[in-house]
Amino acid sequence: MKIVVSASGPDIESTVDEKFGRCPYFIVAEIVDKTIVSHKSIENTSTKQMTGAGTTAAQLVADMNVDAIITGNMGPRAFTIFQQLGIAVYEGRGIIKKAVQDFIAGNLRKMESAKCPRHMFS
């Protein structure tokens, strides 16, 4: 099973990045028999963009043939893309290694909708 985690640093001991689209790195972890058998980091090239980072990041991650994603917050565009592609998104925080282990144990909450800023004006 392949999991991608939005990362604030380039290794599995870094923390889960709160934001999916503009996190500096992604950690890609391979899970076999409930164990992390391998992991690597990938630079998130979407951060350089002015707009549309969420969609580009979603394309980047989706192309990796992932089974699930762990992140802090995901915007509506990336979220709808993963929903349509049938890739589950889970909420995770703290050290990435621990978040992945929590995922394996089934302790992470699945994201039911994108995090939207409160609409203050009408």
> Which residues within the stretch 33-72 sit at the binding site for another protein (CB under 8 A)?
52, 55-56, 58-59, 62-63, 65
Applying CB under 8 A, does 117 fall inside the site for another protein?
A: no
Q: How far is the CB of 52 from another protein (least distance, A)?
A: 5
Best CA proximity match to 92, nearest among 24, 3, 1, 2: 3
Angle between helices 76-85 and 53-62 (to 10 degrees): 30
Q: How far is the CB of 53 from another protein (least distance, A)?
A: 10
Among the listed residues 45, 84, 107, 113, the single contact to another protein using CB under 8 A: 84
Q: How far apart are CA 87 and CA 68, in angstroms?
A: 6
User: Residue 81: phi, psi to the nearest 5?
Assistant: -65, -50
CB closer to another protein, 105 vs 120: 120
Applying CB under 8 A, does 16 fall inside the site for another protein?
A: no
Best CA proximity match to 115, nearest among 81, 58, 70, 74: 74
Q: Which residues bind another protein (CB under 8 A)?
A: 52, 55-56, 58-59, 62-63, 65, 76-77, 80-82, 84-86
